[in-house]
C-alpha cells in the first residue's frame, strides 16, 4: 500500500469517526428534547389535574388528618377530620366535635395532598341541615358561631334554611332557680327562649362538653 492509499484510508476513517460522533450528538440532543418535552407534558397534565380538584375533595381524602382551620371571623378550630361531605366537614378535638361549613373556611392547614373521588349522590345531597338534625337527635349542647357572635343551647329544630336553639340546657335562667318558671307578668309560665340562626350565617357548630 503506497502513501496515497494510506492517506485516503485515513481520511475515510476520520470522516467515519466524525459522522459517528455527529450522529451520537444528534441522538443525545433528540433524547434530551424528548425527555424535556415529556417532563413539560407531565407538568402540564399535573397543573390541569390540580386545577380540577376542589378543596372539598381534598378534605374528604383527609380522614384522620390533624388540621387547623381558620374561619371567616378569624377563629381557629383544630382537630382530626372525622367525616366530610361536599359542603361541610367534621373535626374531632378530643371528645368534642366541630361541624364546619366549607363556605365558612378562610384557610386550612393539614389537608391531604391527594383528592378523594367525586362525591356520590348521597354526599352531594347531604347539606348542613341533615348533619344538624343528627345533633338535634343526640340532644347535645352546642355552640353556634356566627359573625355576630355565638349562640349556645340545644338544637330544637332545623328548618329549610335555619337552625333554632332553645335555652333549656343550663344557661343563665335570668334570676330564676331551677324549676322556677318565669311568669313574665302574664300569669302563666313562659316557654324557653329560642334563637333562630340562618344556615348561611353559621360559621361553626361545636359541641359543648
56-207: CATH topology: SH3 type barrels. (2.30.30)
pLDDT tens track for 141-160: 999 999 999 999 999 999 99
Residue with cell 371528645: 95
pLDDT tens track for 73-132: 999 999 999 988 888 999 999 989 999 999 999 999 988 887 666 555 555 566 889 889
> Taking a C-beta distance cutoff of 8 angstroms, is the pair 141, 152 a contact?
yes
**Burial track 60-92 (b if 16+ CB lie within 10 A, e otherwise):** bbbeeeebebebeeeeebebbbebbbbbbbbbb
User: Which of 80, 75, 209, 95 minimizes the C-alpha distance to 150?
Assistant: 75
**C-alpha Rg value of the chain to the nearest Å:** 34
Parallel, antiparallel, or unpaired: how do β-strands 96-101 and 194-198 relate?
Answer: unpaired
Between 31-35, 94-98, 197-201, the lowest mean confidence (pLDDT) is in: 31-35
Query: What pTM did the predictor assign?
Result: 0.64
Which strands make up the sheet holding 194-198, listed edge to edge? 105-109, 66-71, 76-84, 88-93, 96-101, 204-207, 141-146, 149-158, 162-166, 194-198
Residue with cell 392547614: 109
The pLDDT of residue 145 is 96
Domain ranges of the chain: 1-52, 56-207
Amino acid at each position: 500500500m503506497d502513501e496515497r492509499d494510506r492517506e485516503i484510508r485515513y481520511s475515510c476513517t476520520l470522516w467515519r469517526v466524525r459522522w459517528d460522533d455527529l450522529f451520537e450528538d444528534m441522538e443525545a440532543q433528540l433524547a434530551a428534547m424528548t425527555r424535556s418535552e415529556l417532563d413539560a407534558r407531565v407538568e402540564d397534565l399535573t397543573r390541569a389535574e390540580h386545577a380540577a380538584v376542589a378543596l372539598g375533595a381534598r378534605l374528604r381524602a383527609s380522614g384522620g388528618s390533624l388540621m387547623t382551620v381558620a374561619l371567616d371571623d378569624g377563629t381557629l378550630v383544630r382537630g382530626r377530620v372525622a367525616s366530610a361531605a361536599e359542603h361541610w366537614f367534621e373535626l374531632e378535638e378530643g371528645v368534642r366535635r366541630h361541624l364546619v361549613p366549607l363556605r365558612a373556611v378562610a384557610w386550612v392547614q393539614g389537608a391531604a395532598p391527594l383528592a378523594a373521588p367525586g362525591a356520590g349522590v348521597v354526599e352531594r345531597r347531604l347539606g348542613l341541615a341533615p348533619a344538624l338534625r343528627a345533633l338535634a337527635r343526640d340532644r347535645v349542647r352546642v355552640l353556634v358561631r356566627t359573625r355576630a357572635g355565638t349562640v349556645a343551647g340545644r338544637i330544637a329544630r332545623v328548618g329549610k334554611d335555619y337552625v333554632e336553639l332553645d335555652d333549656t340546657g343550663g344557661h343563665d335562667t335570668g334570676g330564676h332557680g331551677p324549676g322556677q318558671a318565669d311568669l313574665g307578668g302574664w300569669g302563666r309560665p313562659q316557654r324557653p327562649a329560642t334563637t333562630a340562626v340562618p344556615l348561611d350565617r353559621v360559621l361553626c357548630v361545636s359541641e359543648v362538653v
